[in-house]
Amino acid sequence: MIYTSYMYKNKDILMLGITPISIAQGEPKGLDILNYKKLAPPWSLINEYKHSKDRTIYTRTYFETVLNKLNQFNVIAELLLLALATDVAILCYEKPDDFCHRHLVADWLNLVLPEGEKVCELEV
């Protein structure tokens, strides 16, 4: 199963037996975590969003520069192979209720996943 969460829940996620994988450009100092940079937004997009707060432009650009170049089935397989586990949580910095790219990734992956296996936010 694939979940989403944020970096500061890393220890809680590990305690559940779920493998955390960062999909951010970088991780907090001292955090030893797997990273799948293929899903990380480019720095230019991150900086643009910090200034504009325009979700529509961010979403369109993220799809154009990242997601549209990838295949959902390959991403799922690569995440599970990277983790060597069946349960993974893709992490970024934003809190669960904040707008961020991991929610876009979840929606994108959910387009191909069966109903019982949809990516969802991990409640920890």
Cβ–Cβ under 8 Å, residues 9 and 108: no
Query: For residue 38, with 0-12 CB atoms within 10 Å meaning exposed, 13-18 middle and 19 or more buried, which class applies?
Result: middle
State which amino acid sits at residue 124: V
Task: Tell me: pLDDT of 16 over 90.
Answer: yes
| pLDDT above 70 coverage of the chain, percent | 100
Query: For residue 33, with 0-12 CB atoms within 10 Å meaning exposed, 13-18 middle and 19 or more buried, which class applies?
Result: middle
Q: What is the pLDDT of residues 67-121, one digit of tens each?
A: 999 999 999 999 999 999 999 999 999 988 899 999 999 999 999 999 999 999 9
Whole-prediction pTM value?
A: 0.93
